[in-house]
Amino acid sequence: MRKLTLSLSLLTCLVVTQGAFSQTKLVEKITRKGNELVIPYEKYVLPNGLTVIVHEDHSDPVVHVDVTYHVGSAREEIGKSGFAHFFEHMMFQGSDHVADDEHFKLITEAGGTLNGSTNRDRTNYYETLPSNQLERALWLEADRMGFLLDAVTQKKFEIQRATVKNERGQNYDNRPYGLAGETTAKNLYPYGHPYSWLTIGYVEDLNRVNVNDLKNFFLRWYGPNNAVLTVGGDVSTKDVIKLAEKYFGPIPKGPGVTKTTVPAVVLDKNRYVSYEDNIRFPMLRVTYPSVPTYHKDEVALDALAEILGGGRNSLLYKNFVKTQKAAQSNASHPTTELAGEFTFTVLPFPTMRLDSAEMLLQRTLAEFERRGVTDDDITQFKATRETRLIEGLASVSGKVSQLAAYQTFAPTANYLPQELKTIQALTKEDVMRVYNQYIKGKNAVVLTVYPNGKKDIVTHADNYTVSSAGYKAPNYGYDGLTYKKPTDAFDRSKKPASGPNPATQVPPFWTGSLANGIKMIGVRNNEIPTVTLLFSIKGGHLLSATDMSKAGVAQLTASMMNEATQNFSAEDISNKLEKLGSSISIGASTDEISVSVESLTKNLDATLAILEEKLFRPKFAPEDFARLKKQLLENIENQSTQPVVIANRAYNRLLFGADHIRAIPVSGTSESVKSITLDDVKAFYAKNFSPSVTNLVVVGDVDKADITPKLNFLTKWEAKPVAIPTVPAAKAADKTRIFLIDKGKAAQSEIRIGYVTDMPYDATGDYYRAGLANYILGGAFNSRINMNLREDKGFTYGARSGFAGSRLPAVFTASAGVKAAATDSSVVEFMKEITNYAKDGITAEELAFTKSSIGQRDALRYETSLQKAIFLSQIIDYNLPSDFVQKQSDILKNITPEEIKAIARKRLPVNNMVITVVGDKALIKPGLSRLGYEIVELDKEGKPLATASTENASAPAQAGSSKN
């Protein structure tokens, strides 16, 4: 692909009445002139109303297929919420010519990835595959568009209903603040408004729906005339149209669909509402009704949100976070097809009253009125938004998704130039005008989420109750719908053969080093005019192994390096970066400090000058340290309310032992962080930041000759020896036990099962082979574990297993969040699958699938700059040979069922694993007690309860011995 820049010119638009393919009409052809920012495409319409958009990009042997239906939760009815999302799940359950669960299997087997998503206004289904698999993807999508309903059975319906409930439990009911959006929506919009419920729907609605209701929903909204098929990548437009005609052309047109129109939301007063949650920080959320997507005021309101609460330079950050009053504060302006929501969110520390928080928010708005909008505000917003547009074009999937969204909602699929033009035309006056029009003096929904038992802290007594008075249900046209199958002139049951395998090339990379020890690796990627730099400074959290009383110092040090420098305040640096459209972030992990740099190529020199300042001249200001330390301590306490975090921390403590550095989170503990001083941070930086343990990856629109002189400033970095501690091996469990942590009233239980292996990461040895063995057990969507717990039983939204390793010994973990009532049965099924796999190994069919899937996915591995950077990071971090990919391919090709079985037997010690369960003890313990494992009760820190007794039993139960 030729490089894109920000110049604009006239576009070529060809509109004809008759295309070259049958009765299909060529509607529009967009080409690029010079280096303008545009996505070239051709758009056709089939006789049945299906819109087909094709974008050719031959830079990588990849194709992305997207089918977007203009139906989301906004097309649902009162009492039948969640249909659109529910149907998204059902669309993966097979059709006339595609067997149950075969859609996932066929795409994954072809080396591709796939998914679907639902929002208020649309549902889309998409696949990214090697380009030789184009026909297979189109055949699959057409089959479920035209041949779905006879394959929808009551059993599939019940399983997916359970899966959707689990998804709600995991992402809403069991998550802190998970119901904030739902509570806001039902109080912001009038009763019956299409946005007055969330896409996930209500459990009571899911309980009352029947399979015929769902079939009617499909018949009403899933016709080709309400869909857009968008295909991009290494394809021929002529071939795509021929295949679209073949597979989609016979599908009959569905009922007509008109654009939904609703009046703008107007609030007659501030609506105060609240609810209780298991949280540490209360939440204040203030939401004003605003404008829909592509409204003339949308961009100005987006800019207002950035100025008020979008980053370090925002007024909310200055008044709430900088002053240590809140853990978080921001403003956002999400918009959708029918409406927008301008929202302020504040999570004050427990010491701040919520009425005080609301008053400070109002004072912040008054301050904005006095301050006004500055030239810097506009410059920063434009640069940041333009960079985001460019970065969205880095992948074929990004371009296809953008075209599909524009076609569905914007005035034209070629809206990108207009969007850029709108951004460039923004003025300070525009921003002040929309503030006065939509925010100043206007009414809002004021939501308070308060901790358990603390309703007295709400900002104001609840003063609004939703009323259905005057509501009249619309007629969506469900009467008399009939299912008409397409009539074909070919045998649709015959799966399309794959085309010739595309030639996948490992990116040609360069290597180098600096005199002070920095090792470098890079690759040129000129598809978009950006550059990515990734620094890896070895050590990180592991350096605290010699003094675990200071655990967390690596994270605090990294955080401090994101603050002020000796010459500039944090706000000054943020201002400079935003004007450039660049970003620099520094973070800590278990074994490194990472520095990530993103820049437009034209702004690289200026960005590197800021990087030099941040790396070598951090200020380590006492006021920054005090604020960041307080935030870290508060966040550690806050995480004790989150089931996922509780499970992960307890699991690591059980795996490694309380006195092991890997048992302690990178953030540290309350005790260790309290002991850290500013001098500790300075000492950690002085001792451990060294080029001698630093690797640098460079990917983007520069080559080695271009970048090397620009990095001369790094040669001033003085090398010093850094000793990475050798951590002790973890002690193996003497037997498998269940460790239970009570999380009262939890809607779901979190399960972690596993052990610490004796193997570190390697690319072509035991670790790689163990990953191959795990793929069919718990690594793929259609793995044994996920198919059992999710697709067959409906216990979970997703279950998985895998080996996670680095230079340290890898950990094998099988995990899931499951519905509480199925906790004991889920443990049984996990252990059954692991036991059977260790005993019997892999089948010939499963091994063939594994080889095909993993063997073909290389086409997708190197497309974007980030993907290339991750690939190069592996090479330099682990000193891999340049031909390691070919060696992996040879191992995969030649591995046998006997080898897989031997690996599974060795690497799945079912009698020596830790089983950690976090959930509602009163509900789940009786069932767990019947499984035959010893149960040890722990507190939320993972420590044994002083008063808890353990329960012993003889042999573990077999699958099916417990009831949920």
H or E element, residue 782: none
- Three-state SS for 695? strand
Residue 381's closest CA among 289, 304, 493? 304
Per-residue confidence at 372, pLDDT binned at 50, 70, 90?
A: very high
Tens of pLDDT, residues 38-67? 999 999 999 999 999 999 999 889 999 999
The structure tokens listed for 957 are 């139960």
Helix ranges (DSSP H) in 425-476: 428-438
Alpha-carbon separation of residue 679 from 316, 675, 686, 687, 898 (angstroms): 30, 11, 10, 12, 57
End-to-end Cα spacing for the chain? 55
Determine how many CB atoms are found less than 10 A away from the CB of residue 445: 25
pLDDT of residue 21: 44
**Contacts made by residues 523-527, CB under 8 angstroms, sequence distance 24+:** 523/698, 523/699, 523/868, 523/872, 524/700, 524/701, 524/702, 524/703, 525/699, 525/700, 525/701, 525/865, 525/868, 526/3, 526/701, 527/1, 527/3, 527/4, 527/59, 527/394
- Three-state SS for 479? coil
Strands 934-938 and 737-742: parallel
Tens of pLDDT, residues 15-44? 333 334 458 989 999 998 887 889 999 999
Strands 530-538 and 737-742: unpaired
CB 445 within 8 A of CB 188: yes
The structure tokens listed for 317 are 């950050």
Helix ranges (DSSP H) in 274-339: 298-309, 315-316
When mean pLDDT is compared across 11-20, 575-584, 621-630, the lowest value belongs to 11-20
d(CA 848, CA 289): 54
d(CA 526, CA 531): 9
- Summarize the confidence of residues 106-116 as an average pLDDT: 93
Per-residue confidence at 11, pLDDT binned at 50, 70, 90?
A: very low
Alpha-carbon separation of residue 6 from 412, 417, 419, 941 (angstroms): 20, 9, 12, 52
Site of tokens 């990849």:
62
pLDDT of residue 927: 96
Indicate if the pLDDT at residue 385 is higher than 90. yes
Q: Please give the radius of gyration of the chain, using alpha carbons only, rounded to the nearest integer.
A: 28
Indicate if the pLDDT at residue 2 is higher than 50. no
- Summarize the confidence of residues 180-203 as an average pLDDT: 96
d(CA 784, CA 115): 19
Provide CB contacts within 8 A for 83, sequence distance 6+. 73, 76, 201, 209, 213, 214, 217
Query: Where are any strands of DSSP class E within 560-711?
Result: 583-588, 592-600, 694-700
CB 588 within 8 A of CB 558: yes
564-577 per-residue burial string, b: 16 or more CB within 10 A, e: under 16 = bbeebebbbbbbbb
CB 649 within 8 A of CB 637: no
CB 952 within 8 A of CB 932: no
d(CA 743, CA 749): 8
- Summarize the confidence of residues 743-749 as an average pLDDT: 90
DSSP line for 807-856: SSPPEEEEEEEEEGGGHHHHHHHHHHHHHHHHHH---HHHHHHHHHHHHH
Indicate if the pLDDT at residue 778 is higher than 80. yes
- Structural domains of the chain sorted by starting position, each given as residue range(s) with its CATH number in brackets: 47-247 (3.30.830.10), 271-395+407-457 (3.30.830.10), 510-716 (3.30.830.10), 737-938 (3.30.830.10)
Residue 792 phi, psi (nearest 5): -90, -40
Cα within 13 Å of Cα(909), Cβ side? 18
Residue 27's closest CA among 256, 237, 236? 237
Per-residue confidence at 860, pLDDT binned at 50, 70, 90?
A: confident
CB 447 within 8 A of CB 274: yes
- Three-state SS for 363? helix
- DSSP structural state of residue 10: P
- Summarize the confidence of residues 319-336 as an average pLDDT: 96
Alpha-carbon separation of residue 463 from 271, 275, 861 (angstroms): 6, 13, 54
Phi-psi region of 552 (alpha: psi -120 to 50; beta: other; left: phi over 0): left
pLDDT of residue 952: 54
CB 24 within 8 A of CB 45: yes
Residue 581's closest CA among 561, 614, 607? 607
Indicate if the pLDDT at residue 351 is higher than 90. no
d(CA 594, CA 583): 14
Strands 748-756 and 62-69: unpaired
Alpha-carbon separation of residue 895 from 597, 774, 900 (angstroms): 40, 13, 7
Q: What is the pTM assigned to this prediction?
A: 0.91
d(CA 786, CA 575): 46
pLDDT of residue 8: 33
What integer best gives the mean pLDDT of the chain?
92
d(CA 417, CA 394): 17
Residue 590's closest CA among 668, 517, 651, 520? 668
DSSP line for 489-518: SS-TTSPPPP-SPP-------EEEE-TTS-
- Summarize the confidence of residues 304-315 as an average pLDDT: 95
pLDDT of residue 951: 58
- Amino acid letter, 853: S
Site of tokens 């709400």:
458
Site of tokens 């020890």:
517
pLDDT of residue 22: 58
Provide the residue count of the chain. 964
Indicate if the pLDDT at residue 963 is higher than 60. no
Q: What share of the chain is helix, strand, coil (3-state, %, to 5)?
A: 40, 20, 40
pLDDT of residue 950: 54
Per-residue confidence at 938, pLDDT binned at 50, 70, 90?
A: very high
- Summarize the confidence of residues 453-475 as an average pLDDT: 91
Q: Which residues pair with 587 in a beta bridge?
A: 594
- Summarize the confidence of residues 291-305 as an average pLDDT: 98
- Summarize the confidence of residues 701-707 as an average pLDDT: 95
When mean pLDDT is compared across 177-191, 629-643, 941-955, the lowest value belongs to 941-955
Site of tokens 């460019």:
390
Indicate if the pLDDT at residue 247 is higher than 80. yes
Indicate if the pLDDT at residue 962 is higher than 50. no
pLDDT of residue 641: 85
pLDDT of residue 947: 57
| Cα-Cα-Cα-Cα dihedral sign, residues 680, 686, 690, 696 | positive
Site of tokens 């599974």:
904
d(CA 299, CA 769): 51
Indicate if the pLDDT at residue 961 is higher than 60. no
Indicate if the pLDDT at residue 326 is higher than 80. yes
Residue 395's closest CA among 883, 59, 731, 824? 59
Residue 165's closest CA among 50, 86, 109, 98? 86
Helix ranges (DSSP H) in 425-569: 428-438, 553-561
Determine how many CB atoms are found less than 10 A away from the CB of residue 27: 19
- Summarize the confidence of residues 712-719 as an average pLDDT: 95
The structure tokens listed for 21 are 């393919």
pLDDT of residue 942: 86
